[in-house]
Amino acid sequence: MIPGLAGGPAPVLVLGATGAVGRGLLERLSKAGVPIIAVSRRVPDAELPNVMWMQHDLAREPLKVETHVLLSAGPLSLARRQLERLPAVRRVIALGSASVRFKQDSPDPDERAMMRELADAELRLGEWAERRAADVTLLRPTLIYGGRHDRNISVIAEAARTKRRLPIAGRGLRQPVHADDLARLMTTLVARQGRGFEVFDLGGGETLPYPDFVRRIASAAGADPSIVQVPAPLLTTGLRVAHLFGRMTTVTPAMIRRQRMDLAVDDTPAREQLGWNPRPFRPSFSPD
Ligand SMILES: NC(=O)c1ccc[n+]([C@@H]2O[C@H](COP(=O)([O-])OP(=O)(O)OC[C@H]3O[C@@H](n4cnc5c(N)ncnc54)[C@H](OP(=O)(O)O)[C@@H]3O)[C@@H](O)[C@H]2O)c1
């Protein structure tokens, strides 16, 4: 049960409900008997008790609904805009991203623009919380994995399955966070009130150098390729050639550059204040 929520009059609004974290949120809240409005642009593919789906594109316009609690597991800028239409909301738990720390100086102009948008959404969310005297917990995880439609680590798993040698270009640290650990934390945080605007960075239960991160994924995918360190310029050239043939289009030169960077955060405040206790990195590719 979620104190102060189950059986409450107005439903909880869940944005990003079809993502890996969003699905975990729906399952947990639904089991706890919490009425939910779940938003997606698509026709929902899962029916759960207590969940009412709304098919809606939030980028076109915010929704008109009655709710006191907003949980956002989708783009933060959409949640921030939606809040302007929710006069009764006093509690918000939203996912941001630790990327705001790592990608602001990316060589990729699209990534820099996304980070500006994210930083702006964070700032405005803080202003909104102050103006409305609302309690907002902003969670900034590092890389998220897990769930049926995982794109982050499944790209590496696919490469590991199909290649005998996997070239990489760095030993930067990674702290992958399981989507369901985030869903669990967000659910428990609904009852945390009276703290104003709070921001927490979140890492996973293990910090791994990039080669170990790749090896762990390969092993979970049942593959054992040789992992070979290659200078980043050489790997980038190879990638550009692959792009010419329409291959590896989801991998960018900026991603290769980041293989050398530590994408890790200090999540001690979240561990101490929120009870954040994420699992170690044990990816699984069996259906959830
Ligand atoms: N992926 C990562 O490794 C990572 C790492 C750190 C933080 N985060 C944060 O985690 C959250 C989720 O990230 P994500 O990677 O799953 O991708 P995302 O694109 O930020 O979110 C996907 C979810 O948002 C919904 N959504 C997107 N645009 C929408 C729109 N215009 N109207 C209504 N719903 C919309 C999608 O629903 P439909 O497609 O069903 O409409 C889906 O449920 C974000 O806040 C992101 O910053 C992600």
Residue nearest to atom 17 of ligand 1 (CA): 74
CA distance 155 to 10: 40
Does position 4 have pLDDT exceeding 50, yes or no? Answer: no
Please name the amino acid found at residue 189: L
Question: Ligand 1, from 40, 43, 77, 180: best to mutate by most atoms within 8 Å of Cβ?
Answer: 40
pLDDT class for 152, splitting at 50, 70, 90?
confident
CA distance 190 to 205: 23
Tell me how far apart the 2 most distant CA atoms of the chain are, in Å. Answer: 60
Residue 103's H or E segment, with its range, is none
**pLDDT by residue (tens digit) across 108-133?**
999 999 999 999 999 999 999 999 99
Domain 12-148+175-206+264-274 in CATH 3.40.50.720: yes
94 lines ligand 1 (CB under 6 A): no
**pLDDT by residue (tens digit) across 179-213?**
999 999 999 999 998 899 999 999 999 999 999 99
DSSP string, 32-86: TT--EEEEESSPPS---TTEEEEE--TTT-------SEEEE-S-HHHHHHHHTT-
* CATH architecture type of domain 154-172+208-258: Alpha-Beta Complex (3.90)
- In three-state secondary structure terms, 5 is coil
**pLDDT by residue (tens digit) across 60-119?**
999 999 999 999 999 999 999 999 999 999 999 999 999 999 999 999 999 999 999 999
Contact 67, 13 (CB under 8 A): yes
| Angstrom distances, CA of residue 255 to CA of 126, 140, 152, 236, 274 | 30, 19, 12, 10, 31
Does position 14 have pLDDT exceeding 90, yes or no? Answer: yes
Atom of ligand 1 nearest to the CA of 98: 6
Give residue 10's pLDDT: 81
Provide CB contacts within 8 A for 243, sequence distance 6+: 249
Token duo for residue 99: 């990327």
Question: Ligand 1, from 53, 71, 92, 97: best to mutate by most atoms within 8 Å of Cβ?
Answer: 97
Q: Is the pTM of this model over 0.85?
A: yes
154 lines ligand 1 (CB under 6 A): no
Torsion sign, CA atoms 194, 77, 50, 31: negative
CA of 165 to the centre of ligand 1 (A): 32
46 lines ligand 1 (CB under 6 A): no
22 lines ligand 1 (CB under 6 A): yes
Domain assignments of the chain as residue spans, ordered by start? 12-148+175-206+264-274, 154-172+208-258
Atom of ligand 1 nearest to the CA of 18: 43
76 lines ligand 1 (CB under 6 A): yes
Question: Ligand 1, from 14, 15, 265: best to mutate by most atoms within 8 Å of Cβ?
Answer: 15
19 lines ligand 1 (CB under 6 A): yes
